[in-house]
Structure 1
Amino acid sequence: MKYLLVMLVVAVSGCSTIFGDRFRDRADDYLTGKPGEEATTLDGQPLASRDALPIPELDVIPAAPGNFELPVPQALVISDNDDPAEHTASLNEYRSLDLNPRIEKDGSGSQILRLDGNFAYAWAAVTEAITASDLKMTDLNRSVGTFYLEISRRQLDSERSWWARLWDSEPEVIASNYLLKMNRARNGVYLSLLEDIDKLAADDYALPVLNTIKQQLER
């Protein structure tokens, strides 16, 4: 048995002598190879090779640029007919006509200010109108469509005492809080003045407020 093993080792070690370099282990050849060497032969025979993507020869070799230049975008050219001022003026005119503010009465006979257009634009326009007027706005809540106003007014005769009317004294000036409510309608919105969340204000108080806002919207 030992004799057979010895003969096998001798036979394997002599393969390189008998068969040359054909069965040599080449796994570590990359460690001894020189940079830039390419396999051009196989078993002494030249390999047939060609460039997969040949690069054509140039008659003139372009010079490399000295620095990189960032391309500059072309300037936007506006036609003479496209005047931004004209577009702005026409848009403002369209919006003022689009609101079409008007005093009307609702189904219960209460005075309201009706506006055309969508809620968002009407809300912004009324906010500006109140700010530009003499009305005192203490707060606002767009989510519930409510402006909170403080209005100073003189007492009505119905609110005065019997003695005050008897002696013909001047009505007192009262500062009261009111709610200016913006409600969505089928076409547009409408504004109504309330003393509280459940009670509409009297027309004597509502009309001056609604007319003040109407006049500001028409400017």
Structure 2
Amino acid sequence: MNEGPNIAQIASLIGDPARANMLAALTGGRALTATELAAIGGITLQTASSHLSKLEAGGLLAQRKQGRHRYFALADEAAARLIETMMGFASSRGHLRYRPGPKDPALRKARVCYDHLAGDFGVRMLDSFVCHGEIVSDGENLSVTDKGRAQLDAFGIDLSSLASNRRPLCKSCLDWSERRSHLAGTLGKALLGHMFDQGWARRSEESRAVIFTPEGERKFLLQFPIDP
């Protein structure tokens, strides 16, 4: 059958080990240079440039120029969700290619997934919303209830401005370490940004980890409780 989406083309782009490593690094939401991505992929700059051109042509990457430098990032949230979902699938099947190290517990606890919160804390946040009837879940599709709107307004999140965005307000995203869903979409982005703005947490300079302060963690757990 030759009709329909060509998933083989996308699979071949992601399937190369160097390209897979570069794509995984970009799920942190930060744009990186070709030199930085070459180091991540363990390849030469010339080879990295060839790979990046293919990924851009395949709709997985986008680039922007700033001064003399070119930066590469995932094309959009859909591309990020695809990579994160594949990472979750690989983890659930035991296809792991690294040894857990000092950064691993921090990444599993809380990390950035493109532009929203992932890891144990990301899953807990969505679980709390669902548990208290603030978000209703129908598989991948999520919607905020009236109770949730009131709660988010009290937390400082303006849903009306988020709903006007072309991106979905809230979607589930498979978490590769927890193997359950966390909250993506413009709401997920706004919540993580609000936590940064309030000083609850900061991004690690060395990885995708989100580092909560002791007070920020206390406030997070109070804001997003899980009923027994």
Pick the structure with more strand per residue: 1
Larger proportion of helix:
2
Whether these two folds match at TM > 0.5 is no
Shorter chain as denominator, the TM-score bin is under 0.3
Bigger CA radius of gyration: 1
TM-score, reference length from structure 1:
0.23
